[in-house]
Copies of this chain bind each other. A is one copy, B any other.
Amino acid sequence: MANDKKLVESITDMEVDFAQWYTDVVKKADLTDYSTLKGCMIIRPYGFAIWERIKAELDRRFKETGHENVYMPMFIPESLLQKEKDHVEGFAPEVAWVTQGGEKKLEERICVRPTSETLFCDHYANIIHSYRDLPKLYNQWCSVVRWEKTTRPFLRTMEFLWQEGHTAHATAEEAEAETIKMLNVYADVLENVLAIPVIKGEKTAKERFAGAAATYTVESLMHDGKALQSATSHNFGNGFAQAFNIQYTDKDNKLQYVYQTSWGMTTRVIGAMIMVHGDNSGLVLPPHIAPIQVMIIPIAQHKAGVLEKANELREKLSAVCRIKMDDSDKSAGWKFSEYEMKGVPIRLEVGPKDLEKNQAVLARRDTGEKITVSLNELEEKIPALLEEIQQNMFQRAKDRLESRTYTATNMEEFEKILEENPGFIKAMWCGDQACEDAIKEKTAATSRCIPFVQEHLSDKCVCCGKPAKHMVFWGKAY
């Protein structure tokens, strides 16, 4: 038992040091390992299995909405990156430069893609000629590189995995509709698969993606009251089309620029999932995404009949859930801690005494509750319980988000909230970047979004007191 306790004790309590708790969970749950190159991470099998499931959920939705996958080179010549002025200014300071290929010094520097707008634009200029070629609805799965100084697994690493959608449309209206449609796909996956409630809205001009006309975002709230931007969707208007000369002949035989969008979600959402659902025993995975939904732990497995029955259950139940069994020679206590740490939604205990009564014990990871169930009912009860856990996790996170969303009508209230109860702050804003800058300077909070669902809290900007234009969600952010 000493060892069992040690496993749990080795995680820092989140109330003591949230950042350390996060690092401990990522490490102890075998999600990542550090790589020799500081700032990069190794995604281990358990972490990657989670990403594979997120990927499958997104990819299915992308295809259902008519998108096609492609693959663009990972390299962007410097001259190509420079074609769109705002874009290069936003990204050039943080890219990795290849200057030598084999034994030869390159004539032009090449950057490792930080994002692929320029590559897609270059390709679109080649393949789009007529209105018949539109829309182009492309997506790619890849990794991108941004040369970050301070990094944390999943949240901020020099290289990360993501998908980037890039589309081209005949009209501004279609591009806007696409941008919103894909934001809704992200919100759907976040809320219904990852059980992470989100606030949907538009970024202020200051927080927009480099080169975008409008950036939309889904914002979520972590356990420590900090916000995390969970995915973004950008409407480029025809700015990139002008820079890259992407034109098509319309039905009246006139040349027109296309309208473009891009949208992305990254391995960062795994970090969000950890920080929204995790607790002091480790990871808590929503059943819809958990690589293992049920872990069978045979009790006193040397006793006659226990392993046979456990195996039989595993086989039968594999038709209704993702199930595994740990029949290693480690102690039951060690196994309990291990799969709590790994966030497996249900633990199924079955021992000699249970077998006598034709029953098993189901332990819920989300609430810790234990339920005794007849073996004959497991096939029905487990899928229902997984669904209940999924809903409970979403509701619990939603309640917390709502209870930690505060209203401020002046800067005193604003600062007091951040000091006492960090979370989202709803406050009115005049629309001037000067006020955003002032708020950030004073409180370290940034505008998270102008939510689609607006409320009229007051007539005045929380910062300058001038007439307010929008209600904004503010918060400290990852």
Interface residues of A (CB under 8 A from B): 33, 35-37, 40-45, 48-49, 51-52, 68-77, 80, 93-104, 109-110, 112, 119, 122-123, 126-127, 138, 142-143, 145, 147, 158-159, 161
| Complex alpha-carbon distance, A98 and B159, angstroms | 14
| Complex alpha-carbon distance, A100 and B70, angstroms | 29
Give min CB distance, A429 to chain B, whole Å.
32
Q: Which of B69, B75, B104 contacts A37 (CB 8 A)?
A: B75
* Given the contacts A98-B112, A123-B33, A147-B101, A45 and B68 also touching, CB distance less than 8 Å: yes
Give min CB distance, A146 to chain B, whole Å.
9
- Does B33 contact A75, Cβ atoms closer than 8 Å? no
- Does B97 contact A100, Cβ atoms closer than 8 Å? yes
A80: chain B residues at CB < 8 Å are 36
Q: Which of B42, B52, B97, B142 contacts A72 (CB 8 A)?
A: B42
User: Told that A37-B73, A101-B147 touch, could you supply 14 new A-B pairs with CB distance under 8 A?
Assistant: A33-B127, A35-B123, A36-B122, A40-B75, A42-B71, A45-B68, A48-B70, A49-B68, A71-B143, A93-B103, A96-B98, A98-B99, A99-B99, A142-B143
- Does A52 contact B69, Cβ atoms closer than 8 Å? yes
* Given the contacts A70-B44, A75-B159, A147 and B52 also touching, CB distance less than 8 Å: no
17 A-B pairs whose Cβ atoms sit less than 8 Å apart in the complex: A35-B123, A36-B77, A36-B122, A42-B70, A42-B119, A45-B68, A51-B71, A74-B145, A75-B158, A75-B159, A94-B102, A96-B100, A98-B99, A98-B112, A101-B158, A104-B147, A112-B112
| Complex alpha-carbon distance, A123 and B48, angstroms | 15
- Does A72 contact B147, Cβ atoms closer than 8 Å? no
A127: chain B residues at CB < 8 Å are 33
In chain B, what residue has the closest Cβ to A157?
B73
- Does B147 contact A37, Cβ atoms closer than 8 Å? no
Q: Which of B36, B40, B100 contacts A99 (CB 8 A)?
A: B100
* Given the contacts A70-B42, A96-B101, A143-B74, A110 and B37 also touching, CB distance less than 8 Å: yes
Give min CB distance, A128 to chain B, whole Å.
12
- Does A35 contact B101, Cβ atoms closer than 8 Å? no
Kindly name the residue among A36, A68, A119, A127 whose own CB sees the greatest number of chain B CB atoms within 10 A.
A36
A74: chain B residues at CB < 8 Å are 74, 112, 143, 145, 159
A158: chain B residues at CB < 8 Å are 73, 75, 101
* Given the contacts A33-B127, A49-B68, A126-B33, A42 and B73 also touching, CB distance less than 8 Å: yes
| Complex alpha-carbon distance, A361 and B127, angstroms | 33
- Does B101 contact A98, Cβ atoms closer than 8 Å? no
Q: Which of B45, B99, B161 contacts A97 (CB 8 A)?
A: B99
Kindly name the residue among A73, A119, A126, A161 whose own CB sees the greatest number of chain B CB atoms within 10 A.
A73
